């Protein structure tokens, strides 16, 4: 087990992030986020969670949500997040998230929440279920972050606005009560880490377009089919050259290939000089299949070891709760609640 976190331990910088178990994890989650998280645990004290509280803002099938939450944990571990070095937990197991979420709701303005583009998008998409949770989701996300006083919060581009709101709410609260929250820095990886849909290279890879999305647990033949059908570009050049502006489809395949093989764009251009896209695409597919194979196998193995997964999420929740409780207690005191 990793060392107990105490007040006297030399403070490592802290990092936190979460992914909603609303769909199966895919190559974009892995290359854009999870893989880079793993590399941080030597310099940062890292907290990563399954954001299940957020997931029910959209109606879920309960059995699927449970399976995906556990599978996400198994996949985090299989992707290299060592539970001995990272605190991995399920959001709903750490009650302080919901509690601080409520308090922060009272310090977040209706107007601020109304301006969130994700709320506008999701309420248009789920017009039959525009619930209060969907609206106040950013206050819960602010709570997720501020509870841990992190230095760094790696997120995707689509979460930038929520991170800015978190900073505003934290500053507002600190302005009234003194320094309670550390003002967190969002860390948005540069565009190279942004994996686009295989069949719509102008949109982010996402589960909502399954044909353009490679899931971590997907069968090799399905992955290969998706790569063979990947959209390349309508130019007549038919040449593997890195030009994201004019050849976004090829550039996306090149950045995927580069990410899984470690080859540079120049090396890739050289490797495929004189070959058309037809030769390039299945090679990328094979490289991705081989890269994902050990992850898929390890995650499947872990899914059969429920006792192990349980020990990981239990000890994760305990560690997370210890840190979160300190912040929550301070907040409760500041706002005037009688101590328990
Ligand atoms: N809202 C994030 C998403 O949909 C997930 C998330 C919830 C999160 N709470 C967080 C990410 C706190 C970083 C920090 O992708």
pLDDT in tens, 65-103: 999 999 999 999 999 999 999 999 999 999 999 999 999
Please name the residue whose Cα sits nearest to atom 9 of ligand 1. Answer: 141
**How much is the pLDDT for 157?**
83
pTM for the predicted model, two decimal places:
0.92
Evaluate: CB of 54 within 6 angstroms of ligand 1.
Answer: yes
Active site residue 330: no
Mean of pLDDT values over 174-201: 88
Active site (annotated) includes residue 204: yes
The per-residue pLDDT for 217 is 96
> Exactly one of 182, 207, 263, 326 is catalytic; which is it?
207
CB-facing half-sphere around the CA of 117: CA atoms within 13 A: 7
User: Which of the four pLDDT bands, split at 50, 70 and 90, describes residue 1?
Assistant: very low
Cα–Cα distance between 133 and 203 in angstroms, integer? Answer: 26
Give a three-class secondary structure readout of 243-282: CCCCCHHHHHHHHHHHHHHCCCHHHHHHHCCCCCHHHHHH
Task: Supply the pLDDT for residue 192.
Answer: 52
Residue nearest to atom 11 of ligand 1 (CA): 18
The answer, yes or no, to whether residue 191 has pLDDT greater than 80, is no
Query: What span, in angstroms and rounded, lies between the C-alpha atoms of 118 and 138?
Result: 10
Calculate how far, in angstroms, residue 324's C-alpha sits from the geometric centre of ligand 1: 16
pLDDT tens, 302-328?
999 999 999 999 999 999 999 999 999
Predicted confidence at residue 216, as pLDDT, reads 97
């Amino acid at each position: 087990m990793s060392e107990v976190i105490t007040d006297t331990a030399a403070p490592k910088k802290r990092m936190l992030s979460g992914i909603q178990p609303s769909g199966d994890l895919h190559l974009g989650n892995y290359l854009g986020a999870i893989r880079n998280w793993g590399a941080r645990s030597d310099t940062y004290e890292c907290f990563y969670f399954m954001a299940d509280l957020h997931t029910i803002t959209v109606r879920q099938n309960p059995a699927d949500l449970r399976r995906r939450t556990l599978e996400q944990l198994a996949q985090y571990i299989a992707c290299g997040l060592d539970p001995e070095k990272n605190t991995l937990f399920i959001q709903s197991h750490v009650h302080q998230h919901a509690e601080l979420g409520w308090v922060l709701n009272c310090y977040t303005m209706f107007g601020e929440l109304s301006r969130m583009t994700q709320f506008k998008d999701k309420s248009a998409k789920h017009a039959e279920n525009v619930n209060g949770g969907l609206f106040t989701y950013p206050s819960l996300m602010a709570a997720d972050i501020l509870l841990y006083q992190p230095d760094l919060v790696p997120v995707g581009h689509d979460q930038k606005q929520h991170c800015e709101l978190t900073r505003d709410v934290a500053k507002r609260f600190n302005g009234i009560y003194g320094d309670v929250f550390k003002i967190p820095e969002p860390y948005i990886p540069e565009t190279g880490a942004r994996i686009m849909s295989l069949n719509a290279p102008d949109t982010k890879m996402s589960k909502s377009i399954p044909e353009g999305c490679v899931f971590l647990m997907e069968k090799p033949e399905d992955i290969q089919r998706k790569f063979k059908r990947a959209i390349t570009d309508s130019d007549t050049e038919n040449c593997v050259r890195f030009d994201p502006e004019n050849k976004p489809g090829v550039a996306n395949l090149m950045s995927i290939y580069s990410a899984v093989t470690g080859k540079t764009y120049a090396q890739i251009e050289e490797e495929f000089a004189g070959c058309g896209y037809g030769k390039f695409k299945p090679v990328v597919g094979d490289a991705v299949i081989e890269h994902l194979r050990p992850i898929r196998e390890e995650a499947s193995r872990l899914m059969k070891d429920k006792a192990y997964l349980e020990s990981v999420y239990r000890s994760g929740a305990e560690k997370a709760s210890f840190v979160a409780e300190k912040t929550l207690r301070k907040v409760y005191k500041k706002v005037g609640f009688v101590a328990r």
